[in-house]
Amino acid sequence: MRISSGELKGRKIGKKKLFAGRGGKDDLRPTSAKVREAIFDILRNNLAGASFLDLYAGSGTVGIEAASRGADRVIFVEAVRSRAKAIDEITGKLALTGRTRVYCERIEEFLKRSSRSGDRFDVIFADPPYDSEEIDKILPLIDEYGILNDQGAVLIEHTRKKKVPERIAALLLKKQYRYGDTMLALYRKS
C-alpha cells in the first residue's frame, strides 16, 4: 500500500498482513487506490487545513493520505488493537505524530467523548465492515453529537448492496459515487 499524492507521495505504508485482526484473522478490506483517488477528488475543496476523522481506520491509508494532501489534523479510530498500534507506528515513521492521533476504541465511545470535549471535524470518513449495520448506527450519532463543522462533509464507503438513508436529521445525502462494488455516499448538513 502506497500514498498516491501529496507530500508523502510514493511512500509505502505497509503490507496488508501487518494489519491482521484478532488472532491473525485477516478481515481487513483496504480501500483500493482507485477509490482513494476518488475520495480525494470528492473532498479536494475540504482538505487544506482540515480536521479529518478516519473512522474504522483499518490500515490508516485514507487518513495518512489526507495528511499527505494537506489536512492539518488527522484522527484515526480503530477498535482492533493491533491495527491501531500499526497505524501509530507508521505515522511515527512518516513524521506525522504532531498532526495525527490514534484511538483504539469503539466508534460510539469515541463519538460520545468527542461531543463532550467539543471536538469538531471538517471531514468525517467512515469505512465500516461491509457486512455490518454500522452505518445505521453512526450517522445518527454524528448528527446527534454535533461533531461535524457546519461546512463539513461526511463520506461513507460501503457496498453497493447497502442502501444508505437519504437524510438523518440534519445530514443530507448529496451524492453517491460507484466504483465496481464500492459506493461512496457524501453527506453534508442541510
- Predicted confidence (pLDDT) per residue in 95-139, tens digit: 898 999 999 999 999 999 999 999 999 999 999 988 889 999 999
Q: What pLDDT is stored for residue 38 in this prediction?
A: 92
Q: Name, in order, each residue with C-beta under 8 angstroms of 134's C-beta and a sequence gap of 6 or more.
A: 56, 107, 126, 128
Structural domains present in the chain: 16-189 (3.40.50.150)
Q: pTM of this prediction?
A: 0.90
The distance in angstroms from the start CA to the end CA of the chain is: 36
**Cβ–Cβ < 8 Å for 54, 75:** yes
Note the pLDDT tens digit of each residue in 6-55.
666 666 776 544 444 445 445 666 777 788 899 999 998 889 999 999 99
24 vs 87, residue with greater confidence:
87
Give the Cα separation of 72 and 1 in Å (integer).
Answer: 22
Residue-by-residue DSSP string for 40-92 = HHHTGGG-TT-EEEEET-TT-HHHHHHHHTT-SEEEEE-SSHHHHHHHHHHHH
Candidates 114, 136, 116; CA nearest to 126 is 136
Q: Please provide the average confidence, as pLDDT, over all residues in the chain.
A: 88
Q: What pLDDT is stored for residue 13 in this prediction?
A: 72
